Amino acid sequence: MSYKAASFLDKYDKIIFDLDGVITSEQRYWDAAALTLYQLFTEPFDVNYAVNNVSIIRTIILYRDKLVKLLKNLGVNSNWDLTYVIYAFSTILDTFDTVSIYEEINRLNLPALQLYDYIKENSVIGGRDGEAYKYLVSVYQEWYLGDELFKKTYNTPMSAEGKSGLAYSEVPLLDSDKTKLVLETLSKYKTIGIASGRVFDEAFLPLDKWKMFDFFDKEHIATYTDILSAEEETGVFPLTKPHYFLFTRGAVGNKVSYSDVLERNFDKEILKSTLAVGDAGADLFSAQQSGLDFAAVLTGVDGKKSREFFEKNNATYIIDNIFDLIEEE
């Protein structure tokens, strides 16, 4: 049995994928968020207990994943930002009770960018450009990467050692063979790229391990590493989704400068023949602001329940999962 790109993709020569909730699973990232918050909430902190009780800790800290779903629906796309918001509200409310934190965030019902502004004005830890945020990210990276890879990557002291690294237990969102078939098939007919909130190394690590990285065109890979570089170079902040930067960067390619991406100084015809694929509201809004058609996959945190959201917000296509991007010849 042989496959080709699905017929509704005929008008596109390029497809740019978000990763988490689309190709890669976010489960280990949510585990890392829960463990980071547990460490920050707990004194004294027992790293061995945390390593051996991830599921229990996540159930409590992320309120049975209700906090994840709520924040994703508000447009909080990065798991660093998700961790930051929850920790910030613990300082605002002066409680580590995540049920109370959930209820307050739900009551405010602020879109992500307004939520960040609210935190900056009301929390002692300040904004996402502050030292507290940098420390939180560092702790998060310790949990995700583990002792060995964290030290190799960052060359800085760890807050606590004994972390084995959640990155090594990542699995594809769909069956590995199915995912590889989709990417291999599409790469024969289209240029495929990435627009991910992961830093480059964290996007590369699982895709390389699963032998999928080489299907992507290296010129069209945009990650959080690009966001950090672009923010520093241009002074524009923040550039995380739902900002248009990441999907636009993936679409036009890395030969276009960061400033030209932000100023939209490139051939706009590129956008008409590029499709963005994502699972969350932040992806949809980022793609729409970029001027890209958007295919929503129902494999994000809300699963098939997200269909109504994507219909209401005018996603160009809604598909069950990335396997719907190919069809039998």
Q: How far is CA 115 from CA 83, 122, 171, 306, in A?
A: 13, 10, 31, 22
Nearest one of 269, 263, 244 to 113, comparing CA atoms: 244
Alpha helices in the chain (DSSP H): 27-41, 47-52, 54-61, 66-73, 79-93, 98-108, 112-122, 131-154, 176-189, 200-209, 224-234, 245-252, 258-262, 269-272, 281-290, 307-312
Crossing angle, helix 66-73 and helix 98-108, to 10 degrees?
A: 20
Q: Which amino acid makes up residue 215? A: F
| SS3 (DSSP) at 191 | strand
Please state, for a pLDDT cut of 70, what percent of the chain lies above it. Answer: 100
Nearest one of 252, 296, 253 to 276, comparing CA atoms: 296
Report the sign of the C-alpha dihedral through residues 69, 72, 76, 82, in that order: positive
Q: Please state whether the peptide bond connecting residue 238 to the residue before it is cis, i.e. omega within 30 degrees of 0.
A: yes
- Domain ranges within the chain, ordered by starting residue: 3-25+172-328, 27-168
Nearest one of 158, 201, 155, 148 to 36, comparing CA atoms: 158
pLDDT at 153: 83
pLDDT at 141: 95
pLDDT at 255: 96
Contact call for residues 72 and 105 (beta carbons, < 8 A): no
| CATH fold for the domain made of 3-25+172-328 | Rossmann fold (3.40.50)
Contact call for residues 195 and 242 (beta carbons, < 8 A): no
Per-residue pLDDT reduced to its tens digit, 238-276: 898 989 999 999 999 999 999 999 999 999 999 999 999
> What's the whole-number average pLDDT of the chain?
95
pLDDT band (50, 70, 90) for residue 154: confident
